[in-house]
Amino acid sequence: YDVNEGPRDLRLFCQGLKQQGLNPKSATIDGNPHIFRTVLLVWPTIVVQRCLVHVQRQGLSWCRQNPKRADARQLRRIFLMVLQIQSQLQRRQFERIFRRWNARYGSRLAQTRQRAWVSNDLQRARSMLMNALPFMFGYLDDSNIPRSTNALEGYFSRLKLRYRQHRGLSKRHRLNYFRWYFYLCPR
């Protein structure tokens, strides 16, 4: 509550957690670059896992539901594979398929001067996947690393839903509400 997802607030928040003894081995995060940089700054040895649901959802939205272009259709198929990867072999196959797609369409897409919606969105999808790829498969090496933030987002959505029923709490009561919620509803 009251934590902005900007770099300054995130850094202070994470440093406070570290001072209280939190030393996580991994963090599963969405695509927020501030969170990514802050987590690595505060805990340099942490394993960062990109949320595969966020990667897939964003990529599919940029590729459209029924793409007309061949490059978009193929990239959409690649994004549909993201949540199916269960082994290092499947990971290597996924990376090989993406490299082939990128070799065929990537440089031409990156160099295009078109400012059409589809071209811009495909550039975004390609860039996002290229940046996410090194951080997408930590869960394959450690079964304790969640591959998505879904469970955590569900937990906090229930917290927010109940909190909204108690709007207008004083700061002290709000803090007590959160303490009781975390005590009574452990994850």
Q: How many CA atoms lie within 13 A of 1 on its CB side?
A: 13
The whole-number pLDDT of residue 1 equals 63
pLDDT digits (tens, 9 = 90+) for 21-80: 999 999 999 989 999 999 999 999 999 999 999 999 999 999 999 999 999 999 999 999
The residues near 123 (Cβ < 8 Å, ≥ 6 apart) are: 109, 110, 112
Which of 38, 53, 48 has the alpha carbon at shortest distance from 6?
38
Question: Where is pLDDT greater, at 58 or 187?
Answer: 58
Residue-wise pLDDT tens digits, 134-166 = 999 999 999 999 999 877 777 777 777 877 777
Q: What is the mean pLDDT of the chain?
A: 90
CA-based R_g, the chain, Å: 20
pLDDT over 80 (residue 115): no
